[in-house]
Amino acid sequence: MELTTSRLLIRELTLDDAPHVLELLNSEGFINNVGDRGVRSLEQAIEQIETRYSADYPNYGLFAVVDKESGDWLGTVSHISRPFLEFDDIGYALLPEYFGKGYAYEATEALVNWAKQKGTPALLGLVDNHNTPSQRLLEKLNFEEVGTTLMEGETTPILKYLLEL
């Protein structure tokens, strides 16, 4: 899978992305808003890409977001099917130096459009109660808050947003 926007290239993760994945997973924003994955070494980041983050099939996965002009690795977007949710969910995570520049919106909008073109009936966006920037982003993309859900292994419910495509 490869998508482009005016500024971004969205592509499948490769093992060459491991140093960036390691940095992202240990950034304060990721830990506070997504969770601590316990990935502390390059070897663990490679293992995550190989076993958990690779697009094992063409319709789902975690994808790298890269600035087309500079080649800078900005973060990730995801399209995931989880058996305990009624629809697929999308997400994003950026390195802190790229916050507030519209990249998350641009990348997520491209992924939503891609899912729509594939015939996906609806998407979910899942976000912590305290993460108001992500809540605003989902609302800007026309997602509507529809309640809460409890993620596997967690004890605190998070907000659930729905976008019918």
Phi, psi of 91 (to 5 degrees): -160, 175
**pLDDT tens string 90-145:** 999 999 999 999 999 999 999 999 999 999 999 999 999 999 999 999 999 999 99
Tokens of 135: 């809540």
State the pLDDT confidence band at 57, using cuts at 50, 70 and 90: very low
What's the pLDDT score for residue 36?
84
Question: Is the per-residue pLDDT at 89 higher than 60?
Answer: yes
Find the Cα–Cα–Cα–Cα dihedral 145, 6, 8, 80, rounded to 10°: 30
| C-alpha–C-alpha distance, residues 49 and 42, integer Å | 11
Set out the domains of the chain in order of their start, with CATH numbers.
2-164 (3.40.630.30)
Residues with Cβ within 8 Å of residue 81, at least 6 apart in sequence: 59, 60, 88
Structure tokens at 84: 């305990």
Residue appearing with tokens 């500024």: 7
